[in-house]
A and B are shown apart, each in its own frame.
Chain A
């Protein structure tokens, strides 16, 4: 099975988990309290997110806290941002074409 950031965010529960721990590091139990699903299911999602290196478990005393790897999240944004830029460029070129057409019509 593939393990990458896109797979990590392909699932709505995992996206919700990311949103939750973006605010603060949380234990698996605290995370599970936010979902109508089993702790096992949440653990499985956390395992996938960890394998994708989007979250990182940190042992603190007897508890494990999960934190978000912000840099990895930025990777996704960067990809999309570049693609968005292509469309932005394309559209500003069309703006110029339209402006030229308008001038010719006058």
Chain B
């Protein structure tokens, strides 16, 4: 159990791709549930001190997950994920966008296409996520937003949270 779990994060600016691989110490069906059931997603999807709040979830091809990132001061940033293709416990393709609380997509904000692959690594599960952006500016904007959020999160609270554990 003490062996570190594989984690690889690469940003490919030439192809506007963020590629993330992570191993989890659980079987594939459990990990799949964590990525596809909103009551579990809400427990981990937004990094603390943000939390995820689901308004609606319909995990099937053409269905959507409409949720908000709720900040420490109650601020809400709404997102919508549209599931395009689902191959149970193996892969799903989805489109990710920002929206309002009614689910109207905000075209001014970055959008991305996600490919999520799930595979076995011994008794563990490897999740390989590929986020494809339409252009470099959108990728930059996403990273810049991450940068801003990261500052609040990583600096202020992450250390505190980890210390508590």
- Residue numbers of A with Cβ under 8 A of B are 6-7, 9-12, 78-80, 82-91, 93-99, 101-102
* Interface residues on chain B, number (Cβ under 8 Å): 35
- Contact between A89 and B48 (Cβ–Cβ < 8 Å)? yes
What are the interface flags for B17-51 relative to A under an 8 Å C-beta threshold, 1 for contact and 0 otherwise?
01010101110001100100000100111111000
Identify 11 residue pairs between A and B in the complex whose beta-carbon atoms are under 8 Å apart, listed by A's number.
A10-B13, A12-B14, A79-B147, A83-B143, A84-B9, A86-B154, A87-B22, A89-B153, A91-B7, A97-B40, A97-B44
Known contacts A84-B9, A86-B153: does B43 contact A95 (CB below 8 Å)? Answer: no
- Contact between A89 and B143 (Cβ–Cβ < 8 Å)? no
B45 (CB) vs chain A CBs: closest residue:
A90
- Contact between B13 and A102 (Cβ–Cβ < 8 Å)? no
What are the interface flags for B45-67 relative to A under an 8 Å C-beta threshold, 1 for contact and 0 otherwise?
11110000000000000000000
Query: Chain A contacts of B150 at CB under 8 A?
Result: 82-83, 85-86
Q: Name the distance in Å between B96's Cβ and chain A's nearest Cβ.
A: 14
